[in-house]
């Protein structure tokens, strides 16, 4: 492990389900990120949290809802997703925003 842990590693969900992705880091980093990786748009920024405050929402649909209860934990709550939301969701953290990311291993999400 890299110091950034994501669970679950794989997730299959129906379009009416509600699920959550979890990311945890104990590197002492202050910034955490969600990225979506798909064949069409590799490494697409979704959300940024800096010192627990959301600083960027990159025009993400409301069916994705982030939560950052503290500097070490980041969640992505999912509801009523579409098949096109199937992708690898990567969490990353860094000491300061935009600098030296450490990525988690990702959650491979399949929406059926």
Partner 1 sequence: GENVEQHPSTLSVQEGDSAVIKCTYSDSASNYFPWYKQELGKRPQLIIDIRSNVGEKKDQRIAVTLNKTAKHFSLHITETQPEDSAVYFCAASNSGNTPLVFGKGTRLSVIA
Binding residues vs partner 1 (CB under 8 A): 2, 31, 33, 41-43, 45, 48, 56, 90, 96-106
Closest CA to 76 of 30, 8, 15: 8
Smallest distance from partner 1 to CB 64, Å = 17
Token pair in block for residue 65: 């809802």
Smallest distance from partner 1 to CB 45, Å = 6
Cα→Cα distances 66→1, 21, 23, 39, Å:
23, 9, 11, 23
Smallest distance from partner 1 to CB 31, Å = 8
Smallest distance from partner 1 to CB 61, Å = 19
Residue whose CB is less far from partner 1, 86 or 105: 105
Residue whose CB is less far from partner 1, 26 or 96: 96
Residue position matching structure tokens 């959550």? 20
Residue whose CB is less far from partner 1, 37 or 80: 37
CB 7 within 8 A of CB 104: no
Number of continuous H segments (helices) and E segments (strands) in the chain: 0, 11
């Amino acid at each position: 492990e890299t110091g950034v842990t994501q669970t679950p590693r794989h997730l299959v969900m129906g379009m009416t389900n509600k699920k959550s992705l979890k990311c945890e880091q104990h590197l002492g980093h202050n910034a955490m990120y969600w990225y979506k990786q798909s064949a069409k748009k590799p490494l697409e920024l979704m959300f940024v949290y800096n010192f627990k405050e959301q600083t960027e929402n990159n025009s993400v649909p409301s069916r994705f809802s982030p939560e950052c209860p503290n500097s070490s934990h980041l969640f992505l709550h999912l509801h009523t997703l579409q098949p096109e939301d199937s992708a690898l969701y990567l969490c990353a953290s860094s000491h300061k925003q935009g600098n030296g990311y450490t990525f988690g291993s990702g959650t491979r999400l399949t929406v059926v």
